[in-house]
Amino acid sequence: MADSDSSRLAEIENSGKHEAERYGVVTGANKGIGFEIVRQLASNGVTVVLTARNKVRGNEATAKLHQLGLSNVVFHQLNVLDQASVESLADFLSQKFGRLDILVNNAGASGAIVDEDELKALGIDSTAWLSGKVAKMVQSVMKYTYEEAEVCLNTNYCGVQIVTETLLPLLQLSSSGARIVNVSSLRSELKKVRKRPMKWYIMPSQLHNGKLQILSRVPGESIRNELGDIENLTEEKLDGILQIFLKDFKDNALEANGWSLMLPAYSMSKVVLNAYTRILARKYPNMCINCVHPGYVNTDLNWHTGVITTEEGARGPVKCALIPDVGPTGCYFDQTEVAEF
């Protein structure tokens, strides 16, 4: 990590000053990491709009936070794939607050149909989930359909686009410069060697010369280079890459063409989400826009195979949401530290 990033992060760690009034939105927040992000933001004095597709569950989650003394949390129903629903949220924010300071895009889908009982019966150790053998091990309990792949990509990437683009006019009214946080995943990483291996997933088969090898999520140097070419990256290029992926998915050619076989749609959705984050950061230099891998958190999304709590997992997204003006932008955070894409 560059010295400038280190100094910026030091300022973030030491910063205890918060504005009197800040307004935030967290998507997919009725449970799991999203719920905990809302709790931690509200505990830091942010007025938070907790959103969820299901009104009953959203209201129940909000009531729980009110019982904890966090009266600065309000609920608004949101379906990230429904433009009318997103516009309804924008109208609510405009009328009630007049601006938006923080947007945390957390809503997500796994892209897989899983028999959870059979998955549990396999007894796969959490450290094995990133090994090359896991995809084969779970073939009997995980089903990937084209329909589920589309839902996953639409929710994890297109939904973020819809929400972000619709709320940008309100974010641009933030007096302190808005913060946009896209909750990503370790499965989005493009690099082959991880400099800071985490003890919870190191497998002997993954080590080469003492360094941890990450399985490639994207086939071909040309596509990887295109995703890494920040200055020339566009949303149109991302759409083109997704079309290639979906064609290979429909043609049952993922393995033949080198795509990830473990949660393929989920992995790709997070790869393009990271790229979209960099595009946004370039377009809006006055905002702090970052993506963050929260850690391998125990949630419904990974069928409770994770090894850290939602409280721990929320710390990275919350840190990005509360980054002061000197904070980094266009970066990928591995939990609470800036890491390589």
* Contact assessment for residue 177 and residue 284, using Cβ atoms and an 8 Å cutoff: no
Tell me how many degrees the CA angle 101-106-108 measures, rounded to the nearest 5.
Answer: 155
Residue 122 φ/ψ, nearest 5 degrees: -65, -25
Q: Is 144 a catalytic residue?
A: no
Q: How far apart are CA 149 and CA 249, in angstroms?
A: 8
Phi, psi of 105 (to 5 degrees): -85, 100
Tokens encoding 257: 């063409």
Q: Which of 144, 157, 201, 266 is catalytic?
A: 266
Token pair of 305 as six digits: 């195979």
- Secondary structure (DSSP) of 211-277: EEEPPPSS-SHHHHHHHH-GGG--HHHHHHHHHHHHHHHHTT-TTTTT--SSSHHHHHHHHHHHHHH
Instruction: List the catalytic residues.
Output: 266
